[in-house]
Amino acid sequence: MAERGWTAYRLAKESGLSESTLANIFKRNTVPSIATLEAVCSAFGISLAQFFAESEMVELTPELKELFDHWVSLSPEQKQAALQMLRAMNTK
């Protein structure tokens, strides 16, 4: 929450959970249910898989999402050509 500048109140509103439920999780170390975790993840705009990922998450900007949407439709040859072009642009 702190990374996003959110209060417990905002997370409660965004997730549809009660503030007391969140207080139990954060202050009393209560283990949340899967449904509760899903609600929190939904509020933050992430999946459960992203929540449990060990590496630092990268938030997709609209530009990155568009780039990814185009990327998945490319052939392997087109992907290689795009990577070569990006590498060339980064060396300048």
Band of pLDDT at residue 21, cut at 50, 70 and 90: very high
Please report the pLDDT score of residue 35 as a whole number. Answer: 93
Band of pLDDT at residue 30, cut at 50, 70 and 90: confident
Provide the token pair at 32. 């949340």
User: Do 47 and 66 share a structural domain?
Assistant: no
Residue-range definition of the domain harbouring residue 27: 2-52
What's the whole-model pTM score?
0.55
User: Do 46 and 17 share a structural domain?
Assistant: yes
Query: In this structure, what DSSP letter does residue 3 have?
Result: G
Q: What is the pLDDT of residues 53-68, one digit of tens each?
A: 866 656 778 888 888 8
User: Do 64 and 48 share a structural domain?
Assistant: no
On whether the CB atoms of residues 47 and 41 are closer than 8 A, the answer is yes
Average pLDDT over residues 43-59: 79
